[in-house]
Structure 1
Amino acid sequence: MNLIVRNIAQSCSEQEVLEFLKHELGHYAKSVEVVGAGTPGAYAMVKLDAQVPYVGDIIARQIQGKHLGGVALEASADLFTDEPPPSH
């Protein structure tokens, strides 16, 4: 199961995003990949260590609206694909 985190501030480095998400998600984060750090379309894909679908939704709600680099994050759980989210 994946968690997609969007709306990452351009001022945030890849390392800042990794540290923030690993801190916030703890043992639920199997792996974190930050794509496009420092660009307007930056996002992170988090592989969650959770087998129950609703856990991803709960985790997404916990991350949704948290601030990183002065910007509110957007998060959603993706149960069916490992593909990156569409650009907006």
Structure 2
Amino acid sequence: MHLTVWNVPETCSEQEVHDFFKRELGHYAKGVKVYDAGTSNAHADLELDSEVPYVGEAVARELQSRRLAGVALRVSATPFDSEEQEERRPA
């Protein structure tokens, strides 16, 4: 499960963003990739250590209330990928 976090402050380095999400998500943070750090388009992709899609939604809602360097984060969970949807379909 992946989350995309937008509105990452320009003032934050890639390491600061990485450390923030590792601290906030604890054991749920399987991976954190930061893109365009130091720019107005900075954002992060968070890989969650969970196969349950509802965990992603719950984490996204929780992170939505967090601030990084005083800036409110915007978070969205990625929709189910086609492989996960195939597994859920009744045979």
TM-score by length of 1: 0.87
Identity %: 54
Amino acid aligned to 1:32: V
RMSD, aligned CA: 1.0
Match of 1:25 in 2: 25
The question of whether the paired residues in 1 share the 8 Å contact of 2:53 and 2:80 is answered with: no
**Structure index of larger Rg:** 2
Structure 1 position 8 matched with structure 2 position 12 = no
Match of 2:67 in 1: 67
Deviation at 1:69, TM superposition (A): 1.2
Task: Name which of structure 1's ranges 32-41 and 71-80 shifts more when overlaid on structure 2.
Answer: 71-80
Unaligned runs of 5+ residues in structure 2 are: 82-91
Unaligned runs of 5+ residues in structure 1 are: 82-88
Deviation at 1:67, TM superposition (A): 0.8
What secondary structure sits across from 1:37 in the alignment? coil
Match of 2:40 in 1: 40
Amino acid aligned to 2:32: V
Cα deviation code 1:38-88 (max 9, x no counterpart): 10010000111111111000000110031111110011111345xxxxxxx
TM-score by length of 2: 0.84
